[in-house]
Amino acid sequence: MDTKEPIPARGSLPRKAYTPEEVAEMLQEPVWTINKHCRKGEFKGAYKTGGRTSSWRIPMSAIDYYQAHQPRG
């Protein structure tokens, strides 16, 4: 008898990174602003999925860091 645990459904795996559109919605900022922050390195750990024209991916840790280090205005 096999006692291995079942593999979790695809939708239940934790997210590793978010798209700029998703982050823009979370932070209530325009998508172009999120892309600009990625280019400037303000999202620590953000990365491109492929070549120069590919989309950014932003890990949750980068979003947390960004929020923690934003000047309060």
pLDDT in tens, the chain (73 residues): 555 655 555 555 566 899 999 999 999 999 999 999 999 999 999 999 888 889 999 999 999 999 998 876 5
pTM of the model: 0.74
Domain definitions of the chain by residue range:
15-68
Angle between helices 60-68 and 20-27 (to 10 degrees): 40
CATH fold of 15-68: Arc Repressor Mutant, subunit A (1.10.10)
Give backbone dihedrals phi and psi of 58, rounded to 5 degrees, phi first.
-125, 115
